[in-house]
Amino acid sequence: METEIMVEQPEAAAGHKGHRDMHPRLRELLFGLKRFISSPLSVIGLTIIVIFGLMALFAPIIEPPKTPNNPYMIPHTGWEMQPSPPSMTHPLGTLPQQYDILYGIVWGTRSAFVIGVAVVLANLIVGVFLGVLAGYFGGAFDEIIMRITDIFFAIPFLIMAMALVVVIGRGLGAIILVLVVLNWPQYTRIIRSEILIIRDREFVQAARASGASHLRIMFKHILPNTIYSVLILASLSVGATILNAAALSFLGLGSDLGYADWGQMVASARNWIVGPTGQPLAFWYLVFIPGFAIALFVLGWNLLGDAARDVFDPKQRRK
């Protein structure tokens, strides 16, 4: 029987040219990004967000503010209540009291971004912090935090939001605060359940046995494995947050008339839904345009979030 050891390395093992040499996590990322780009829906989502982003960034150039120290006040050309249809001076028409809709849309993009990102970021930080406390340390921490999340889950969202806003005072800041306060529990729950799965795995035990500090274990071992679900949740939440904020604005709890916020703009349309007899759609632009902006923006985020989930969901990766 032959027992010679052959040193010849099979050249066939090369496979994909350079990819084998990359750090495995980087390769996963590249793989994910490639899949991301190959899906038409995610490309559309990305395009939408990028367009809105550019609009937000270049707002001062596209629509220079009339009141430089408060650019969010939409300029108005008169005090007439009845909204004006699109014209040369107002390409998208005006709101009641002649506030320019185009200006509102452009600067409203900034408001939308601020709301979405701020709320989700804050939720993420608070939720993950509490979730890690509960999941990793367990015991009393876990019990108390879980009871609190149970209670928060049971609180009816809209009622609480409305009550809070009324109490604190209306305005966009109030809405942001309310959304932050009421939405963090879902993050806590998700990361806690992920941590519970990971916590008792061998590699964590091994790390602990070798004397690693809690902080080190958390950042190096636990978080990288559990953070995916939460990030997916976050990307899917931006859309929902903006919808909630718009709903609250619509109910009159947001900023005043004339502020560049899409939800507020739709709110101002409440009395002008149906036009005079014979011209029922006279004020279509009032309802349609700002609402369309909201829908499109949320759609973009949802497409992104969906694509992110398809790509990064540990359960669905790799076919």
**Applying CB under 8 A, which residues contact another protein?**
1-16, 31, 34-35, 41, 147-148, 150-151, 153-160, 162-164, 166-168, 239, 243, 246-247, 250-253, 266, 269, 273-275, 280-281, 284, 287-288, 291-292, 294-295, 298-299, 302-303, 306, 315, 319
Least distance to another protein, CB of residue 163, Å = 5
Amino acid at 226: T
Which of 135, 300 has the CB closer to another protein?
A: 300
Q: In this structure, what DSSP letter does residue 218 have?
A: I
Least distance to another protein, CB of residue 25, Å = 18
Least distance to another protein, CB of residue 200, Å = 18
Which of 93, 204 has the CB closer to another protein?
A: 93
Least distance to another protein, CB of residue 209, Å = 29
Which of 23, 209 has the CB closer to another protein?
A: 23
Integer CA distances (angstroms), 312 to 10, 41, 131, 309, in order: 33, 16, 21, 5
Buried/exposed 67-95: b ≥16 CB within 10 Å, e otherwise:
eeeebbbbebeeeeeebbeeeeebebbbb
Which of 157, 228 has the CB closer to another protein?
A: 157
Beta-bridged to residue 99, according to DSSP, are 76
Contact 175, 254 (CB under 8 A): yes
Least distance to another protein, CB of residue 210, Å = 31
Which of 121, 151 has the CB closer to another protein?
A: 151
Q: What is the 3-state secondary structure (H, E, C) of 233-253?
A: HHHHHHHHHHHHHHHHHHHHH
Contact 76, 94 (CB under 8 A): yes
Alpha carbon distance, N-terminus to C-terminus of the chain: 41
Least distance to another protein, CB of residue 309, Å = 9
Least distance to another protein, CB of residue 143, Å = 12
Which of 167, 209 has the CB closer to another protein?
A: 167
- Tell me how crowded residue 123 is: count the other CB atoms within 10 A of its CB: 25
Cβ burial of 278 (10 Å; 0-12, 13-18, 19+) is: exposed
Which of 212, 251 has the CB closer to another protein?
A: 251
The radius of gyration computed from the CA coordinates of the chain, to the nearest angstrom, equals: 26
Contact 236, 306 (CB under 8 A): yes
Q: Which two tokens stand for residue 57?
A: 């960034």
